[in-house]
Amino acid sequence: MYPVLSAIGLLAVYALIRIPLNKRRAHDDVQSLPGPASSIASWIWGHELLTFQHAATQMYCVWARSFGGLFKIKGALFHPDIIVATDHAAVHHIFAHSDLYVKSPAFRPPIKNLLGEGLVWSEGEDWHRQRKILSPAFSEGAVKGMTSVIFECAERLETRLTNLILDSKDGASLNIVHYISACTLDIIGAVALSHSFSAQSARTEAHSDAAQISASWADHVNMGLKPISFFVPIIVRAIPAIAKAPLPLMQTQGVCKTIVRRLGQKILEREKVTASVEKSNGDARQEEELPQPKGKDIISILLRSRRLGKDSLSDEQVLDNISTFAMVGHETTAGSLTFTLWELARNPAIQDRLRAEILSCGRDLSYDDIQKLEFLDAVVKEGLRLHPASPQTERLALEDDVIPLSNPVTGIGGAFRIRKGQVIHIPFQAMNTNPQVWGPTAAVFDPSRWLQARDPATFPSGWSGLLTFCDGPRNCIGWRLAVLEFKIILATVVRSIILVDTGVHVEEKISPTLQPVVGDKGGLLPLRLKLV
């Protein structure tokens, strides 16, 4: 009761201060930008409330078609106007200067609550140090070495789904999200943490790490669909101290982190014991001469850097990165992959073509085989284009700057002046479906677009011309692993299982990643499966 009353009081004071302050800060540059009419904005919640009420980035897509690649919207709680950037040159510039444009105050507290102060949350020199330490775990060679483990987990999924189909009379109807998520959790546990979650085991118990992570994530996803998930980040942006209040959304984020950190403590203690034994057996040698963890997984690399005393991370930072990769490393891939399976179920001809290509290579596929499958590559890119796990982000300008524009704005020209403190919203999904780049069928699932000859210069920056993995120095460190997982799981499932659309209406919402929603329930995407 008292935290709520205190928050209301603080908001009232905030409004009294913010409204006149905004009038003084209303720069002519921002005011000259086009944008949606003020009449459709809430007096308190601005245009931002509309974006929450509609599917994922739907409103940003609509506005970008109407107002171009740079426009303004009214911020919630009397926040100064927010710039929305979908212009590819502007966004490339923002991401290329990652020390000048940092995550906005609305994004960082939820990240800290859910993941801790690991690679995703950190900024500046702290981020540079963490990225440098972790990069070897995601090199091309390191990811290639994970192939056999990924295949093993994917084949376990294939067997699990096959058994469900055999136990049914006319195909198995199920929530595919649950099964894909369990598979990717097993993969990230093995290749990143040297830990077996056994998430796909029939003997997995309710109190196991895998079951608790799954349950806490489901609670967090469904809490994120409620209005409070819109209001809390907005209020935190206005009054950062609110992030420490016992609000339900913050508490569900904290539960996820607590469960994974408890697991991280076990892993860290296990490795410390191993290091202690090895050191006692090598008493005459210098630290750098002692046997080091030989694994190329994340935990081994972090601990190796600690033992050598080179740019090492504290226990807290190690634990936060375990949380980061345990959660982000499996839910993001699972989300985009789930939507792609749904697209294949709705497009049987595309599914049949993909299956034929996969079966033409036999069942024993290698890393090189996977890389040679052109239509598989096209399907994966198309799935990641339409359904990026993280469909949007925000950046805060730390200094005045001038950003270039690929398409000049009427009355402004080919560049735009950004003031210190300006918040810039970047909807990846709107950029990935920009008709100026992807043509009139930009919103349609059509993998064949990737098989057509095209001048590379016409592609925007980013992996394959997409913003799915962000861009610039802070692009997704695990993109190679995500793409390889995606390809192997997709190939393994489609070769033996037919995906059938159930006809259920599925909506895309952000909570906190892109989620399939049926009715008011998130993390739900029903499919019917049959054997080939």
Whether 345 shows a pLDDT value over 90: the answer reads yes
Of 16-20, 278-282, 302-306, where does mean pLDDT reach its minimum?
16-20
pLDDT at site 296: 66
User: What is the value of pTM for the model shown?
Assistant: 0.91
Neighbouring C-beta atoms of residue 151, cutoff 10 Å: 20
> In CATH, what number is assigned to the domain containing residue 197?
1.10.630.10
Question: Which residue range forms the structural domain that includes residue 176?
Answer: 2-531
Tokens of 404: 């270039």
Residue 418, φ and ψ in degrees, nearest 5 = -105, 135
CB 472 within 8 A of CB 95: yes
Residue 256 is assigned to a ligand binding site: no
pLDDT digits (tens, 9 = 90+) for 369-398: 999 999 999 999 999 999 999 999 999 999
Provide the domain count of the chain: 1
pLDDT digits (tens, 9 = 90+) for 462-518: 999 999 999 999 999 999 999 999 999 999 999 999 999 999 999 999 999 999 999
Under 8 Å CB-to-CB from 448, ≥6 apart: which residues? 378
The DSSP string of 303-349 is HHHHHHTSSPPPHHHHHHHHHHHHHHHHHHHHHHHHHHHHHHHH-HH
Distance between CA 261 and CA 259 in Å, rounded?
6
Question: Percentage of the chain surpassing pLDDT 70?
Answer: 87
pLDDT at site 292: 43
Residue with structure tokens 């190679």? 480
Q: Report the mean per-residue pLDDT for the chain.
A: 88
Whether 2 shows a pLDDT value over 50: the answer reads no
Whether 28 shows a pLDDT value over 70: the answer reads no
Between the CA of residue 375 and those of 157, 281, 345, 357, 501, what are the distances in Å?
22, 53, 16, 7, 21
